[in-house]
Amino acid sequence: MRGFPTRPGRTPAVVARRTASALAAAALTLPLLGGAPSAAPPDPGPSEEARLQEAFSAAAAAYEVPRSVLLAVSYLQSRWDTHDGAPSVAGGYGPMHLTDTRTALASATSHHGEGTEDPRGDDARPTLRPEAHVPRTAAFPDRLATLPRAAELTGLSTERLRDDPAANVAGGAALLADAQQQLGGAPSEDPAHWYGAVARFSGADNAESAAAYADDVYTVIRAGAHRVTDTGEQVVLSSRPDLAPDRSVLRRAGLRTVSAGSSPATECPATVSCEWVPAPYEEFGDGDYGNHDRSDRPVSQPVRYIVVHNTEGAWEGVLASVQDPAFVSWHYSLRSTDGHIAQHVKAKDVAWHAGNWYVNAGSIGLEHEGFLTEPDAWYTEAMYRSSARLVRYLTEKHDIPLDRQHILGHDTVPGPTAATVSGMHTDPGPYWDWAHYFELLGSPFEATAEKNGGLVTIRPDHATHGPVFTGCERAGEPCAAHGSSAVRLYSGHDEKSALIRDIGLGSNPTTGVNDLSSRVSTGQQYAVADRWGDWTAIWYLGQKAWFRNPEKQPTAVPAAGRVVTPREGLDSVPVYGRAYPEKAAYPEGVPVQEMSPLPYTLPKGQQYVTGGEVPGEYLYAVAFDRSSHQVIKGEELYYQIQFGHRVAFVRAADVTVKQA
């Protein structure tokens, strides 16, 4: 995604950070679970001494909800963050992620229709320029209107519920108590009796999604949690390892059933809610067809990558677009509010999503409901967890390594040719929490070598690391302060030095949120080129690039691994955006796909971390009739490397591989 999308309901000014204020007992003791009272509720006013932990205790007591349940639900919604009062992608506010339909009216429905990137990325076919669809509907699901309902139950204003974290917590407690009452349950201090209410709180429209959400909440309660929030407050949930909830009450919730477990048509783990919403494979027009290609992976060729995208639009529009045969496709969509998954394309088939045909032919694409340029249009913990479960399932099934050269962001997919480099997309962007994501994947980024070794893994503290980006609301204007996975690169060991330049982009580097010229991302690995005090230099796009890496607050940790360097006798070697076969491998009738180099070289004396050896392969699939489809495999081998922000490829014959 490139550019500056806007969303209704969001003003350019970012809401000022507020200190959480506890609700006084009088304000919490409202007409419980009834309609709005005739008189306005008492205003407790701000309290400098109050803390979010106390707000959870007060709301739990007032609405007779177990404190552990309230804390765990909030953790799954927001990890207890307030996000400065800004809404999530689904229009959710505050620690309890109370939603308001007005802010969920996103204008765009898919990032695939923006910029100059061809999502298919196959030179053998005309450039694809899809147009997304904006569904027009007056009706919105209950999951997008929990904040107005909380206002009815508490008598607090919608503004207060959005802006005051403690009031927001009280609204969440009221919703849980209301759900418990609707299910015929009595207030209880035992968290085991609240499973049905938690499931209903998710706002899910089917029993499977509701159950998956509730199971996650109870997983959090059993494990416990503690965290410093984005307001600097310590919140703690004590563990209850033996807690066993009563799941039988969910049968009374009146939710539709998608299937027994995940839909039989889907390829999802049993631990997530997953339904089949197929992308169409249809012929139309003058021999044109869409919106993906049928194949038989991994028999024909392996699945090597998972590509993480964000949607740049809301759920309903995303589903409408992927079901259009004239649009593009991806394999799975993930919903923000509850982590629900829709699968659209079988893993054996090739979706058009990454802008690079070599990557498309060997990848599975995941779209996450979210916005790149809105740092506080945040991703929920429920979606992160659901995505991690799906990725673990897929990586185990397809034997994909859990590292950043195989779990790609769309922003790390290379342009297949020099002409495409500047138009490649930049999602999920600098605000996606790669460190937390890989912790959920069970593969955290940790030091794997001794101090001052030859390689580093980028790993800033996402919560406290906040480089300034511009262009989220308007070009050139600073984005809201926010935690980030990105680390900025300079030409010298000083922040007054010029930013590193990416010659492939053809413009001077900026701090723009979509400008990848001079930044690296959490989990990526690079060879160390130099050190100077608190600064570390790495080899990056053929240059020595510096980043600040103080010992007391490091932005990278020592790593071990293999690197490539030009073989002896070569001053430099070409770098490619794809790994296609040599000319002699193409049979008659299949046009040769030229291996045109990118506008970079890998100079002698420099080293780049490799993600492993890959063969030259090209999937020829340009017609609806699959009889002409074939995978061309050559003798030429390549090494995939972390070259700049994006990955790239070099010929195996051009380089020497060694352990760093």
Query: For 495-549, how does the pLDDT look when each residue is reduced to its tens digit (9 = 90+)?
Result: 999 999 999 999 999 999 999 999 999 999 999 999 999 999 999 999 999 999 9
Residue located via tokens 């010029």: 498
Side chain identity at 17, as an amino acid letter?
R
- Above 70 in pLDDT, residue 648? yes
How many C-beta atoms surround the C-beta of residue 348 within 10 A?
A: 14
Which tokens sit at 347? Answer: 């893993």
* Domain total in the chain: 2
Is the residue at 591 inside a domain? yes
Alpha-carbon distance values, 446 to 199, 320, 401, 531 (Å): 35, 40, 16, 20
Name the residue with higher pLDDT: 101 or 68. Answer: 68
Is the residue at 161 inside a domain? yes
Distance CA 509, CA 381 (A): 33
Is the residue at 331 inside a domain? no
Range 124-148 average pLDDT: 75
Contacts of 609 (CB under 8 A, 6+ apart): 405, 455, 525, 526, 527, 561, 562, 563, 641, 642, 660
Is the residue at 614 inside a domain? yes
Is the residue at 265 inside a domain? no
Give rounded-to-5 percent helix, strand, coil for the chain: 25, 20, 55
Closest CA to 396 of 334, 447, 329, 443: 443
Mean model confidence pLDDT for the chain = 88
Name the residue with higher pLDDT: 264 or 420. Answer: 420
Range 631-635 average pLDDT: 97
Structural domain ending residue among the three candidates 253, 287, 310 = 253
Distance CA 268, CA 382 (A): 16
Range 8-27 average pLDDT: 34
The whole-model pTM stands at 0.88
CATH number assigned to the domain comprising residue 70: 1.10.530
Structural domain ending residue among the three candidates 253, 272, 303 = 253
Is the residue at 216 inside a domain? yes
Distance CA 156, CA 147 (A): 10
Closest CA to 353 of 321, 323, 330, 324: 330
Is the residue at 49 inside a domain? yes
Is the residue at 225 inside a domain? yes
Phi, psi of 336 (to 5 degrees): -70, -45
Distance CA 31, CA 9 (A): 30
Structural domain ending residue among the three candidates 253, 277, 299 = 253
Distance CA 201, CA 62 (A): 18
Q: Do 609 and 538 contact (CB within 8 A), yes or no?
A: no
Distance CA 304, CA 587 (A): 25
**Which domain covers residue 243, as residue numbers?**
25-100+145-253
- Above 80 in pLDDT, residue 89? no
Per-position b or e across 480-510, b if 16+ CB within 10 A of its CB: bbbbbbbbbbbbebeeeeebbbbebbeeebb
The neighbouring-strand residues paired with 635 are: none
Closest CA to 327 of 362, 281, 274, 265: 281
Percent of the chain with pLDDT over 70: 88
